[in-house]
Amino acid sequence: MSGATAEAQVLGFAEALAVVLGHAAGVRPAGLEQVALLASAGRVLAEEMAADRDQPPFDRAARDGFAVRAEEFSGGRRLTVAGQVRAGEAWAGEALQSGSAIEIMTGAAVPPRADAVAMIEHVEQRGAEVWAAPGRSLAVGENVVARGSEARRGDVLLATGTAMDAAEIALAAACGRADLAAYKRPAVAIVATGDELVELEETPGEQQIRNSNSYALAALVAGAGGQPARLEIARDTLEDVRERIAEGRTSGLLLLSGGVSAGKYDLVEQVLAELGAEFFFTGVRMQPGKPVVFGRLPKLEDASGAWPECYFFGLPGNPVSTQVTFHCFVQPMLRVMCGAGVAGPRFVQATLAEDVLSKAGLTRLLPALLRHDLERPGVRLVGWQGSGDLAANARSNCYAVLPDGRDLKAGDVITVLLR
Ligand code: AMP
Ligand code: MG
């Protein structure tokens, strides 16, 4: 490495995760803003959302059938049908009389004095009379969802910090919320470094490489709830790297790709060190992703905005390394800046479909395919040419986590990183 730079701090994988989460725990989200309900998808709720009325707002029939007194129905009594009540209607007649039943549709309000709903499939009917089919009986409350049993008016249904997705949006809609307070999306600067890189608009020379990392990172940032800004490519000169970092550090978070390995033209750490950066790690015993750097730049004199300091990640330039290290380290930090609680990467467990050899001294995160079969969900590795293999990466849908130095057998349950 050329020139003075940060003292190397190479951590184990779990240790590095813990360091990031430790810092994330001290980060506050940006301010909040009012957004339209549908625009809240992918955002984080910045208020407590309470029920505006009881849910359900009335005793609701859960089945099509007959509203009855459970005891009469179970006793086999012949019941006279007194009328019908449909969803959206109030029962206009008087309370249910002894010896009668009221035909009712799913979603309708159960009439007064009825204490259960006999489902149509469990009823025999002749003319205006109904009774229990052989062997059928009914408990009080059966097929009735009592008013307020799902939520009481005023109950907090969604806590501040909840990630808004279809389930939460549906609940907010049920509470009549056309808009809600969400945390602002943090601005994330993305800087690709490399003399070999060209932008998409250019025709690459034979030895040149298209800058795919900026796009990968922009998509990942947007997917995690941030607002990506792709800056111009920084060439592998001190001047260029300085200039781009100066531009990027005004954002909430700075992501650099490339230039963090041990090569002669890997200048990113040097420039960050010059600017007074603190480094929390400068490498992780993982593959791909070993050269990943995490740190913080001090506050700028004229800095405004939510964050007093600018956290940065120097991600290795190899495209799969860039993406894996984003999922492991950047995503958890970014989610907290978006207002979500501190949470690690999305690890799940799955059954390995084949034998896999590990490597000593490294946690490996290899492109893999998680099959979502009902009977036999399982994971197998995708063949690849190493951490530059974007095609293999796109054939995968997760990364299999292979622990340091332990060979694995088909049938072993392993950890998988979802993306
Ligand atoms: P570096 O980390 O700068 O040593 O780069 C490692 C490898 O990743 C090299 O083969 C680079 O050409 C490639 N690479 C670096 N930056 C990018 C980028 N932005 N897009 C695609 N490939 C890249
Ligand atoms: Mg480079």
pLDDT (tens digit, 9 = 90+) per residue, 343-399? 999 999 999 999 998 888 999 999 999 998 877 779 999 999 999 999 999 999 999
111 lines ligand 1 (CB under 6 A): no
Question: Could you identify the atom of ligand 1 that is nearest to the CA of residue 260?
Answer: 2
Question: What is residue 3's predicted lDDT score, i.e. its pLDDT?
Answer: 45
pTM, two decimals, is 0.93
List for the chain the helix, strand, coil content (%; round to 5): 20, 30, 50
**Ligand nearest to the Cα of 290, by number:** 1
Starting at the edge strand that comes first in sequence, how are the strands of the sheet with 253-257 ordered?
Answer: 227-230, 187-192, 253-257, 310-315, 293-297, 278-281
322 lines ligand 1 (CB under 6 A): no
Report which DSSP code applies to 153.
T
Ligand 1 mutation pick, 190, 199, 206, 209, max ligand atoms within 8 A of CB: 209
Question: What is residue 217's predicted lDDT score, i.e. its pLDDT?
Answer: 98
Question: 220: CA distance to ligand 1 center in Å?
Answer: 17
The angle at the Cα of 217, spanning 213 to 223, to the nearest 5 degrees, equals: 150
Q: What's the pLDDT tens digit per position in 54-74?
A: 999 999 999 999 999 999 999
Question: Could you identify the atom of ligand 1 that is nearest to the CA of residue 211?
Answer: 20
DSSP states of 2-20: -S--PPP-EE-HHHHHHHH
**Ligand nearest to the Cα of 195, by number:** 2
Contact 6, 149 (CB under 8 A): no
197 lines ligand 1 (CB under 6 A): yes
Q: For residue 390, which amino acid is it?
A: L
Question: What is residue 358's predicted lDDT score, i.e. its pLDDT?
Answer: 81
Q: Give 1's pLDDT tier (boundaries 50, 70, 90).
A: very low
| 94 CB neighbour count, 10 Å cutoff | 10
257 lines ligand 1 (CB under 6 A): yes
Q: For residue 230, which amino acid is it?
A: R
Question: 210: CA distance to ligand 2 center in Å?
Answer: 13
* CA end-to-end distance (rounded Å), the chain: 33
**CA–CA distance, 413 with 345 (Å, rounded to integer):** 18
List the residue whose alpha carbon is closest to atom 5 of ligand 1.
Answer: 317
Q: What's the pLDDT tens digit per position in 112-143?
A: 999 999 999 999 999 999 999 999 999 999 99
Residue 48 clears pLDDT 50, i.e. is over it = yes
Query: What integer is the mean pLDDT of 228-236?
Result: 98
278 lines ligand 1 (CB under 6 A): no
**CA–CA distance, 268 with 283 (Å, rounded to integer):** 13
| 333 CB neighbour count, 10 Å cutoff | 22
CB neighbour class for 177 (10 Å; exposed up to 12, middle 13-18, buried from 19): middle
Q: Give 30's pLDDT tier (boundaries 50, 70, 90).
A: confident
SS3 110: coil
Question: Could you identify the atom of ligand 1 that is nearest to the CA of residue 318?
Answer: 8
Name the average pLDDT for the chain: 95
Question: What is residue 2's predicted lDDT score, i.e. its pLDDT?
Answer: 41
Question: What is residue 4's predicted lDDT score, i.e. its pLDDT?
Answer: 46
Question: Could you identify the atom of ligand 1 that is nearest to the CA of residue 233?
Answer: 19
Ligand 1 mutation pick, 1, 197, 215, 287, max ligand atoms within 8 A of CB: 197
